Amino acid sequence: MDSWIDEESAPLSSPEEGGGTAVLERPETREQTEQSDTGDSDRYSHYVSADKIAESKMTGRPVVALCGKVWVPKHDPSQYPVCPDCKRIYEEMKRGGF
């Protein structure tokens, strides 16, 4: 018995040869959940949208302040002075600097 391969049904030697589907690989992404600074910003209250704070309280996921600080809100922000970087960025946004 002779064995033969039909060229139409034979597997392709490279994906570029046919009209099959290609698989695109995405780089793995990880959510940053660690503190993004040296700890000085723990002494301040930071600017974050009220919606994000409420979502964080429900899910336990961290928020990102205007200054870039990443944390899970747990303390009363009125007990701390406002972060100077957040305040500066917020003022620039109000003036249309962003």
Where is pLDDT greater, at 63 or 32? 63
Amino acid identity, residue 45?
A: S
Chain Cα centroid distance, residue 90: 21
Question: What three-state secondary structure class fits 51?
Answer: helix
- Residue 86 burial class via C-beta count within 10 angstroms: exposed 0-12, middle 13-18, buried 19 and up: buried
Reply yes or no on whether the pLDDT at 28 is more than 90: no
Give pLDDT tens digits for 42-77. 789 999 999 999 999 999 999 999 999 999 998 889
Question: What three-state secondary structure class fits 59?
Answer: helix
Structure tokens at 7: 């060229």
Angle at 61 between CA 60 and CA 63, to 5 degrees: 120
